[in-house]
Chain A
């Protein structure tokens, strides 16, 4: 990983972020693929469809599981999924370009300090990425705590956390059942950046204090750009509590017979099984339709 240059192993939350993001992406692709397969079968039965007539022959109908309602419902469903995914990607792009434009006229540099009483800090991805912090935020932190903030935001940029977040957001759009993964990755990327910051400043308690203090001062009037999470206990106390514990072992794959290991293996196995079944269904339908299509 990118950290090897600094002589450090990737922090533990990096593995969790990767696993959850890949699982979310695989499951979203699978569910969308299956929706597309149902749609092809469903569309073939509609009168006046543009697909070859042989695809709706009784022999094909016998060979594939066909449900009239599901077949018809899948058409708008697939359209809605694709539109929602495209909209999420477009909004992400638009937000980034607008935020970049908002900073026009400022001297170039890795950090932009804005005179604003509203305490907030962001990692704005781009070429190059920039850390944006307001005077309201910096004033509430001590000098070492500011180093934590910048190290944390730098970690977001260095490891391109926005890509993980965008991936799970699009996955959650494609399949609403994947929403918990979006929340989880929102948390693990923050933990990842916290651990990076802790490694950089060499003081976990300092990081805990900076995160805690920034959270307390941001309460109530932080602009809600991000993933609000009202789970109990919420992400910030969990982050602080984790930082007050010793550094988690930097392993990417836990042993099987622990709670974490079972969960990780179950997630990986489930995602693999899902991918294999989807691929199997796709190949089967392809072969059936190919056999049914007369060659000209």
Chain B
């Protein structure tokens, strides 16, 4: 379990809502033409979220690598570095890293290839197939 998960509520719906909030905050950042403060994000969201909630979500997004911040006077200004798909990629990557070394049952296109097999595979492909183009 990751640190971010440990602090969350156990209810799936609550977690789902958190994931949706992350997406909304990211969208708000992306719609801004320049880096914005958390207060501005709160304003842009316009759904009565507490300031601390916005800070929490921004911090979580930063931990995932989806946003960056820089100091501007007494506050931080935040910038999105990933879009929605990028955020999904970062989330899934964290999940897969956390699951590494464990067995799981997602069926994958290819499994990791031991070095000996690579030799064997290259041999098979070279002998029986046209060389890959490019």
Contacts and interface: CB of A to CB of B under 8 A. Distances in A.
Contact of B84 (A97, A105, A208): A105
A82 to B, nearest CB: 19
The listed residue with most B CB atoms (<10 A of its CB), out of A166, A169, A219, A224, is: A224
A123 interface: yes
B120 A237 contact: yes
Nearest to B92: A102
B89 to A, nearest CB: 4
Interface stretch (A31-39, A227-235, A264-272, A288-296): A227-235
Given A122-B106, A225-B108, A234-B117, A101 B100 contact: no
A95 B108 contact: no
A105 B110 contact: no
Given A212-B121, A216-B122, A244-B128, A161 B107 contact: yes
Given A122-B106, A205-B128, A212-B121, A103 B88 contact: yes
A234 B19 CA distance: 38
Contact of B114 (A123, A162, A213, A234): A234
A120 to B, nearest CB: 7
Interface residues of B, number: 53
A27 to B, nearest CB: 19
DSSP class of A's interface residues: helix, strand, loop or mixed? helix
Contact of A149 (B88, B109, B121): B109
Contacts of B91: 101-103
A103 B93 CA distance: 11
B129 interface: yes
A160 to B, nearest CB: 10
B96 interface: yes
Contact of B88 (A105, A226, A228, A230): A105
A216 B118 contact: yes
Contacts of A95: 95, 99, 104-106
B99 A218 contact: no
A226 B113 contact: no
B3 interface: no
Interface of B: 12, 15-16, 19-20, 22-23, 26-27, 82-89, 91-97, 99-114, 116-118, 120-122, 124-125, 128-129, 132-134
Given A132-B92, A224-B99, A240-B121, 11 more contacts: A99-B106, A102-B88, A115-B83, A123-B108, A162-B105, A212-B121, A219-B118, A222-B112, A224-B112, A226-B106, A234-B117
